[in-house]
Structures are given as C-alpha cells and as structure tokens.
Structure 1
Amino acid sequence: MPELCRFFGIVIYMYREVGGKHHFPHIHASHGSNKAVFNIDTAELMEGFFPKKERKLVEAWIEIRKDKLKLNWMKLNTAAGSPSFFKIDPLQ
C-alpha cells in the first residue's frame, strides 16, 4: 500500500482499488490500531474510527494539501500499468 505521508504517528495511504467500494477521491489513514477512510473533497471521515485529536489533524492536513491529494488521486487512477504517485509533505 503506497504511503503518501506520515506525521504525529498517523500514516496516510492512497491506493488503487479496482472494483472497490469507494468511488470518490479518498485516503486511508491509520494510527495505532485505528483505521479510517477520509473523503478528499470534504475531509469527512467516511468509514472507520479515529480518535478526535488525530481525526482533526487528518482533516486539517487534507484541507491544506487538497490540491496535491487530488492530483495524486488522478495519477493513481489513470496510470497505465504500474500506478504512480508522489509523497506529500506532513503537518509540522
């Protein structure tokens, strides 16, 4: 699973889900044993659970990096053969 970013113990992933149940631009996030899916357009938690503090960090990161996330989503879902993506800067 391609890792886009890591900050404050949170790991952000984006990967191609051919035939997957999520048909909107989204990211997967993990923190300890918690896993969640966030909508890129709205930064909304769509599935899973994240503690409030970490959820707010992910939501802020999505808002700040939305353009890069959308570009990555486009690259990942239009790549022929091996999907491509680029790393995105963390919160600091």
Structure 2
Amino acid sequence: MPAISMFYGIIIRMQSEKGGKHNIPHLHAVYDEHEVVMDFTGKILEGSFPSKQLTLLTAWTALHEEVKIMLRPTAISVTVQKDYTLKVIFDNGETKIFDVKPYIKGSWYSQLKNFSYFSLAKADGFTVIWPDGQDICPDELYYNSMPI
C-alpha cells in the first residue's frame, strides 16, 4: 500500500480494495502503534487514533479534495442494452447508463458495430472492456454516464 502523505509522524496510505470489506473511498493512516481507516467525510470505519492526530488527519482530508478524484467509482458489473448502451453498476452502488454509439467509429472501435461482438462487453473491476482490447476510459465511463 503506497504512502501518499507523511506529516507529524502520520503516514497516510490508500489502496484499491475492489470487493473489499470497506468498499467505499477511504484511507488508511498510521501513527505509532495506532491505525485508523477513515472515509473522506471523517467517519472512522475501523481502528482508533489519538485525538490530536485525528484532528490533523481530518484537516488533511479537507485540504486534499483531489484525492477523492483518484478514487472515482469503478465498474463492477455491466449489462449490454439493445440500443448500444451499457447499464453499468459502479462500486459505490450507483447504476448508470453509458451510450457507446458516439465511440463506435474508426477501425479499432468499428468492431463494436457488430452487436454480437458488442454484447461481449464485461466489467473488469475498473472499466468496461471487450475481447480484442477495446475499452472505455474509466473517467468517461463514470462521468459521461446518466444516472437511472
């Protein structure tokens, strides 16, 4: 688990836990023999921290909003729809519809015009992929999908 910040003896780490026990964006922090798992609202999911260090950690999360962006939800399930859209379930529990039609152009993505091939889409725990390597940028998949 890589360290993303260290200050005043506090070490903050993040890791991907697809299907893990916390299954929401969170961080792990260590201070001496104390360890805490905390979401980005400041809620402690597991462990404990001394009061002063917890205050510093909470302030750090408020100052580092960009960390949340790195934790964009990822695709855990996909269902192909007949209109060349994908019903995608993300690891944060959201279900959205992504329209693939604008992406089906050029030699690489033109294979997706064949609905039998398009139907082979699967979620890999990160994004949506097809057997010959076509995929959708994870950011586009999440941010350009419509909630249902």
TM-score by length of 2: 0.48
Quote the Cα distance in structure 2 between the aligned partners of 1:75 and 1:68.
Answer: 14
Task: Check if 1:6 corresponds to 2:24.
Answer: no
Task: Check if 1:30 corresponds to 2:26.
Answer: no
- Number of the residue aligned with 2:58: 59
Give the Å deviation of 1:74.
2.4
Q: Structure 2: which amino acid aligns with 1:36?
A: V
Runs (4+) of structure 1 exceeding 4 A deviation are none
Give the Å deviation of 1:32.
0.8
TM-score by length of 1: 0.74
How many residues align? The count is: 78
Identity of aligned residues (%): 35
Unpaired segments of 5 or more residues in structure 2? 75-124, 128-148
SS at match of 1:46: strand
Q: Structure 1: which amino acid aligns with 2:2?
A: P
Q: Structure 1: which amino acid aligns with 2:69?
A: L
Give the Å deviation of 1:75.
8.5
Instruction: Note if contact 1:13-1:27 (Cα within 8 Å) is conserved in structure 2.
Output: yes
Quote the Cα distance in structure 2 between the aligned partners of 1:33 and 1:72.
Answer: 28
Instruction: Note if contact 1:44-1:59 (Cα within 8 Å) is conserved in structure 2.
Output: no
- Number of the residue aligned with 1:16: 16
Quote the Cα distance in structure 2 between the aligned partners of 1:33 and 1:3.
Answer: 17
Quote the Cα distance in structure 2 between the aligned partners of 1:20 and 1:64.
Answer: 26
Task: Check if 1:49 corresponds to 2:48.
Answer: yes
Quote the Cα distance in structure 2 between the aligned partners of 1:45 and 1:63.
Answer: 15
Greater length-normalized contact order (CA 8 Å, ≥ 6 residues apart): 1
Unpaired segments of 5 or more residues in structure 1? 80-92
Q: Which has the higher strand share?
A: 2
- Highest Rg: 1 or 2? 2
